[in-house]
Amino acid sequence: MPSPNRRARSFLLVALLLIASAATCSAHDPGTSTRIEAAWLELGPGGAVITRAITREDACPRARVDGRVVGMAERARPGPNFPVLSCEFTLPQEVRRVVVAGDELEVPDRPPRRIAVLGDTGCRLKQVDGFQACNDPHQWPFARIAKSVARYDPDLIIHVGDILYREQPCPPGNAGCAGSPWGQNWETWAADFFTPAARALAAAPWVFVRGDHESCGRAGEGWFRFLESRATVTCTDQTDPYSVPAGGLRLLVMDTVQADDTNPSPPVVQHYAQQFRVLAGEAGPNAWLLSHRPMWALDPGQSGTDLQVFNATLQQASQNTLPPGVRLVLTGHIHLAEVLGFSGGRPPQMVAGIGGTLLLPDIEQDVVGMDVAGAVLTTATITSDHGFITFEPRRHGWAATIRDIDGRPLPTGHCRIEQKQARCD
């Protein structure tokens, strides 16, 4: 029989081996890294499912894909103001499970039956527009909205653009935004989006639409480092449109960074006219047009009475006509929720600019019956409440619901989108 001392030494050796083994597994297990800043899935052209991650490590993490360990490729190296590494991996078809940094990311396994839409989510810090209380979840509720989106258990999340709003420093003595990062850097991207959106990022695949806040003159570098669905990481304000199949629905994604709301320039109009021609061949019989800037929405201005119809550039480029298969135009940009129906077979225009940033005043006047770029506005539901919009399929279309910060339907938020008609209770 071994002596007590030998037994003690054996137990100690086994314990040391177990500790070393655990440390080795922790260092190499793709599910246990503590330096991952964010991880998510997004849909790209043709429905490609892309795994993305951001890390402070020197190398990209590995992921577990249906139990198999795969390495992620570098997308963007750290640079000035961005001390993080952006990584990606395009999933093969039929993948069922993806784990990055210990978080399981929800892989699409069916056509989307529950879609959540939000936009204009960042905290406004800009002298000309006002300084939002980023430190107050009641004044800047994006984190609460993102948690509500995750609780809704969507199959797909669409962000219709404008993510980064912290463009100037918080004024001294302003407790509402004191200590907030600002400018074009990783800390601002983390504060305005990746940290508050964490729960929703893991809840479902995303489709990201580029907003004017993500132009090259503003937050474009971060957009291409993190969210642009295609391979290029060099900022450009002219990107091609693309389509994403989603079961029987096709999402037409359009970058409208250059589409000025009120002053169209002929070269830009021609640029977007060509994009509309490309999308006409992609639409099929059942499509939604996704862009940040709307085509036929109502902007009340800061006063609430200076009513304008946006967007003049897109109206000229499209000649106010979309392919027959486009059933809905879904956008952000205007900081309201709008559901607008028109005469003449024009598809409804919906705006989801209520994801967290400062809202515009409600439109009090009766707008039904007004001319909107050549079509009569037949129905209009407009609200100035933070929240998001959800879609669920029905026999002849979709049930759309405008929800508040905590995911509850607004009293006037139960809507139907059928046969190019939109109507809310």
Question: What pLDDT, on the 0 to 100 scale, is given for residue 49?
Answer: 96
Q: Which CATH class is domain 115-424?
A: alpha beta
**In the chain, domain spans:** 1-30, 36-105, 115-424
Question: What pLDDT, on the 0 to 100 scale, is given for residue 301?
Answer: 85
- Long-range (24+ apart) CB contacts under 8 A made by 128-133 are 129/358, 130/358, 131/170, 131/171, 131/174, 131/176, 131/177, 132/165, 132/176, 132/177, 132/357, 132/358, 133/176, 133/177
Question: What's the chain's length in residues?
Answer: 425
Helix (H) or strand (E) holding 15: helix 4-28
In which region does residue 134 sit, left (phi positive, over 0), alpha (psi from -120 to 50) or beta (all else)?
A: alpha
Question: What pLDDT, on the 0 to 100 scale, is given for residue 38?
Answer: 97
157-181: b or e for each residue (b if 16 or more CB lie within 10 Å)? Answer: bbbbbbbbbbbeebeeeeebbeebb
Question: What pLDDT, on the 0 to 100 scale, is given for residue 302?
Answer: 79
Question: What pLDDT, on the 0 to 100 scale, is given for residue 110?
Answer: 87
The pTM of the full predicted model, rounded to 2 decimals, is 0.92
Q: Whole-angstrom distance between the N-terminal and C-terminal Cα of the chain? A: 84
Question: What pLDDT, on the 0 to 100 scale, is given for residue 300?
Answer: 94
Question: What pLDDT, on the 0 to 100 scale, is given for residue 51?
Answer: 97
Digit-coded pLDDT (tens) for 182-225: 999 999 999 999 999 999 999 999 999 999 999 999 999 999 99
Digit-coded pLDDT (tens) for 232-261: 999 999 999 999 999 999 999 999 999 999
For residue 263, say if its preceding peptide bond is cis, omega within 30 degrees of 0. no
Q: Check residue 227 and report its DSSP letter.
A: I
DSSP 286-310: SEEEE-SS-SSEEE-TTTS---EEE
Q: Dihedrals φ, ψ of 283, to 5°? A: -65, -45
Question: What pLDDT, on the 0 to 100 scale, is given for residue 21?
Answer: 38
Question: What pLDDT, on the 0 to 100 scale, is given for residue 34?
Answer: 46
Tokens 């135009």, located at residue: 329
CB 397 within 8 A of CB 417: yes
> Residue type at 315?
Q
Ordered mean pLDDT values, 10 residues apiece, the chain (425 residues): 45 38 40 75 96 96 94 96 97 93 89 97 95 98 98 98 98 97 98 98 97 98 98 96 95 98 97 96 95 97 85 98 96 98 96 98 93 97 97 95 98 94 91
Question: What pLDDT, on the 0 to 100 scale, is given for residue 24?
Answer: 37
CB 252 within 8 A of CB 265: no
> How far is 193 from 119, CA to CA, in rounded Å?
11
β-pair partners for 377: 342
User: What does the angle CA 280 – CA 93 – CA 228 come to, to the nearest 5 degrees?
Assistant: 55
